[in-house]
Amino acid sequence: MSLDPARRATSKEARAAGASAGARAGAAYAALMAAHEVGDYILQRDSDAVAKGKHGPDGAAACLRHVASYTATQAVALAAADRYLRLGLGWRRASAGLALSAVTHYVADRCNGHWHETAEEGAPRLVRAAHAAGKSKWLTRDPSAGPLLDQAWHRAWIGLAAAVAAGRR
């Protein structure tokens, strides 16, 4: 992910040495998931965690702050994995993967506190989709259902983000 021409040569050598797209994607996924745990639980401010699902500009701002620090954490982890494992990731694809992770993280985190709501109650679109997919009983009965769906959403998109980051230049 470096613009340094000498570094690019190292990236090309890493690819020539057999760093397959699958291996790069696996390493990228591991780095992004480790950073996910740090960014989503350790670094997130409590005030942002409480406010990020609230309607209006205060909730949106809290969610944006959280997603910014979360994405920065993922960027550092991905850059470190690229450098120390000599993955040969391209900075454009890595940036695209990080953007995908950030946008989808924001979408899910704006649902915080709303997973039990229905369409009639003005639930966010992702919550309405979960209910439409047949998750209503689980979401209204089990208080851990929303957070579990949230984390499943994050993991799925992180997998796609890793594939994007590791793809061909």
Q: Which two tokens stand for residue 39?
A: 């960014």
Long-range pairs for 54-61: beta carbons < 8 A, 24 or more residues apart: 54/113, 59/110, 60/110
Domain ranges in the chain are 19-166
The pLDDT assigned to 156 comes to: 97
Q: Are 131 and 123 in contact (CB under 8 A)?
A: yes
Q: How far apart are CA 125 and CA 108, in angstroms?
A: 10
Cα angle, residue 129 at apex, residues 74 and 134 outer, rounded to 5°: 115
pLDDT tens-digit profile of 10-68?
555 555 445 788 999 999 999 999 999 999 999 999 999 999 999 999 999 999 999 99
Q: Binning pLDDT at 50, 70 and 90, where does residue 123 land? A: confident
Q: Are 78 and 1 in contact (CB under 8 A)?
A: yes
Give me the residue label for tokens 């020539």: 16
Q: Are 32 and 158 in contact (CB under 8 A)?
A: yes
Q: Are 158 and 101 in contact (CB under 8 A)?
A: yes
The pLDDT assigned to 5 comes to: 55
The pLDDT assigned to 12 comes to: 58
- Residue 78's CB is within 10 A of a number of other CB atoms, namely 27
Stated pTM of the model: 0.86
Q: How far apart are CA 76 and CA 108, in angstroms?
A: 22
* DSSP-assigned letter for residue 169: -
